[in-house]
Amino acid sequence: MPSSIELTQELVRFNTINPPGAERPCAARLADLLEGAGFAVELVPFGEGRAQILARLGGTETKLPLGFTGHIDTVPLGAQPWSVDPFAADIADGKLYGRGSSDMKSGVAAFVTACIAHADRLANTPGVLLVITAGEETGCTGADALVSEHRQLGKVGALVVAEPTGNKPLVGHKGALWLEAETKGVTAHGSMPEKGINAVYKAARAVAALQEFDFNVARHDMLGGATLNVGTIHGGININSVPDRATIGIDIRTIPAQSHAQIREQMTSYLGPDVALKTLLDAKSIWTDPHHPWIGEVLQVARDVEGVDNGLGAAPYFTDASALTPALGSPPTVIIGPGELALAHQTDEYCLVSRIERATEIYSLLILGWCRA
Ligand SMILES: [Zn+2]
């Protein structure tokens, strides 16, 4: 069995840039390791060359298993040249370099290693359920597919999401609602605009209105306020025609007090009948009461292992928990992983080797705490 560092290196060496993802070989390697350790493993196909994993070990009638989740796809390399080989997983000065090293192959390697290390002792205990996804970076498409195909995911008693947090426990994250607003017009020759209806003018009015939009919701203590950003605008085909179609991409980040269905309704009436809305992505916010006893335990373990008290936090980004937490029975959910958030999606991405070792230790202690009869 490789160490968590060696396993991170192995995983980084699989090119799983999404799109297209091509996670299958990487997933198959993890499935082999887990199967070899006695896990019941399902390698779930997810389109051409892609796969996800459900792996279970242990289980009792009286207590639900502890869940771990992470994704094995990565974002593209970006436009900037790298100073290291992004797929070599070389270690220098205590840093393991490569695409996906922080986000989040180190996290997956750490919980897989921790679970395998305890595999012999998990029979007749609540045990663990591992959900290793593909397609996270393009809007949780893998997790959504697992949930919507009504696969027998089962329930967990608590869920660990190993996304990059520098091993600091986060008790929630914002949700995301991505909308496409479309306006329609009537095309005409650009020299006779009075004969047409300009869809770009309608879109421009919508954009100006969106800049003034107020969610009218109180700020969340830890997550802050809801936000809205117009990320894209497209309209018109050529300069000498009246455009008959325009689209606007709206990125809304929400807090737990908000319902996405209500926001959509609110948006529809706010923008009026000239604007048609389509939902591109609907990822719920996640929140666990910081006073929940298991959160207390995670905080204690993280503090003991890291040797500093970083307290609890919350994340602005969303994770697969948006789909998985509700599907797994809405258990308390914590986001904690060895990667550094600041390095996720960056050129020359790396993860600190010491963080990977400590994350493995944190996950080990959480498994022991959960499965102690
Ligand atoms: Zn991630």
pLDDT digits 0-9 by tens, 28-41: 999 999 999 999 99
Give yes or no: residues 206 and 330 share one domain: no
Give yes or no: residues 135 and 242 share one domain: no
What is the whole-number distance in angstroms between the Cα of residue 205 and the centre of ligand 1?
Answer: 36
Give yes or no: residues 106 and 219 share one domain: no
Among candidate residues 234, 267, 283, the one where a domain is terminated:
283
What is the whole-number distance in angstroms between the Cα of residue 196 and the centre of ligand 1?
Answer: 46
What is the whole-number distance in angstroms between the Cα of residue 319 and the centre of ligand 1?
Answer: 7
Give yes or no: residues 269 and 296 share one domain: no
pLDDT, tens digit, for every residue of 310-365?
999 999 889 999 999 999 999 999 999 999 999 999 999 999 999 999 999 999 99
What is the whole-number distance in angstroms between the Cα of residue 117 and the centre of ligand 1?
Answer: 24
What is the whole-number distance in angstroms between the Cα of residue 136 and the centre of ligand 1?
Answer: 7
Residue 168 pLDDT > 60: yes
Strand partners, 158: 66
What is the whole-number distance in angstroms between the Cα of residue 186 and the centre of ligand 1?
Answer: 43
Closest among 151, 132, 99 to 28, alpha carbons compared: 132
Q: Whole domain around residue 253: which residue ranges?
A: 175-283
Q: Where are the alpha helices (DSSP H) in 162-315?
A: 199-211, 260-271, 293-306
Cα separation values, 341 from 2, 225, 294, 335, 352, Å: 25, 20, 24, 12, 12
What is the whole-number distance in angstroms between the Cα of residue 369 and the centre of ligand 1?
Answer: 26
What is the whole-number distance in angstroms between the Cα of residue 163 and the centre of ligand 1?
Answer: 5
Give yes or no: residues 14 and 161 share one domain: yes
Residue 52's pLDDT band (boundaries 50, 70, 90)?
A: very high
**CB of 172 within 8 A of CB of 334?**
no
Residue 104 pLDDT > 60: yes
Looking at residue 373, what is its pLDDT? 53
CATH of the domain at 317: 3.40.630.10
What is the whole-number distance in angstroms between the Cα of residue 105 and the centre of ligand 1?
Answer: 9
Domain count within the chain: 2
What is the whole-number distance in angstroms between the Cα of residue 317 and the centre of ligand 1?
Answer: 9
Q: Indicate the DSSP class of residue 95.
A: E
Beta strands in the chain (DSSP E): 40-45, 51-57, 66-71, 91-92, 95-97, 128-133, 158-161, 170-173, 175-184, 227-235, 245-254, 275-283, 286-287, 313-315, 333-335, 350-352
What is the whole-number distance in angstroms between the Cα of residue 226 and the centre of ligand 1?
Answer: 21
Residue 265's pLDDT band (boundaries 50, 70, 90)?
A: very high
What is the whole-number distance in angstroms between the Cα of residue 71 and the centre of ligand 1?
Answer: 7
Q: In what order do the strands lie in the sheet with 95-97?
A: 91-92, 95-97, 350-352
Cα separation values, 226 from 30, 233, 253, Å: 38, 21, 5
What is the whole-number distance in angstroms between the Cα of residue 104 and the centre of ligand 1?
Answer: 5
Looking at residue 167, what is its pLDDT? 97
Give yes or no: residues 224 and 169 share one domain: no
Give yes or no: residues 144 and 14 share one domain: yes
Give yes or no: residues 142 and 188 share one domain: no
pLDDT (mean) for 77-101: 97
**CB of 295 within 8 A of CB of 288?**
yes
Q: How far apart are CA 158 and CA 180, in angstroms?
A: 35
What is the whole-number distance in angstroms between the Cα of residue 138 and the centre of ligand 1?
Answer: 10
pLDDT, tens digit, for every residue of 268-291?
999 999 999 999 999 999 999 999
Give yes or no: residues 298 and 212 share one domain: no
What is the whole-number distance in angstroms between the Cα of residue 324 and the centre of ligand 1?
Answer: 14
What is the whole-number distance in angstroms between the Cα of residue 367 and the centre of ligand 1?
Answer: 22
Kindly report which listed range (9-23, 149-163, 202-216, 274-288) carries the lowest average pLDDT score. Answer: 149-163
What is the whole-number distance in angstroms between the Cα of residue 144 and the centre of ligand 1?
Answer: 15
pLDDT (mean) for 201-228: 96
Residue 151's pLDDT band (boundaries 50, 70, 90)?
A: confident
Q: How far apart are CA 362 and CA 365, in angstroms?
A: 5
Share of the chain above pLDDT 70, in %: 99
Give yes or no: residues 58 and 47 share one domain: yes
What is the whole-number distance in angstroms between the Cα of residue 59 and the centre of ligand 1?
Answer: 28
CATH of the domain at 236: 3.30.70.360
Residue 152's pLDDT band (boundaries 50, 70, 90)?
A: confident
**CB of 155 within 8 A of CB of 129?**
no
Residue 178 pLDDT > 70: yes
Looking at residue 316, what is its pLDDT? 86
Give yes or no: residues 118 and 179 share one domain: no
Share of the chain above pLDDT 90, in %: 97
pLDDT (mean) for 62-79: 97
What is the whole-number distance in angstroms between the Cα of residue 118 and the centre of ligand 1?
Answer: 25
Looking at residue 372, what is its pLDDT? 87
pTM score of the predicted model: 0.94
What is the whole-number distance in angstroms between the Cα of residue 49 and the centre of ligand 1?
Answer: 20
Among candidate residues 249, 283, 317, the one where a domain is terminated:
283
Give yes or no: residues 146 and 229 share one domain: no
Among candidate residues 283, 316, 343, the one where a domain is terminated:
283
What is the whole-number distance in angstroms between the Cα of residue 137 and the centre of ligand 1?
Answer: 7
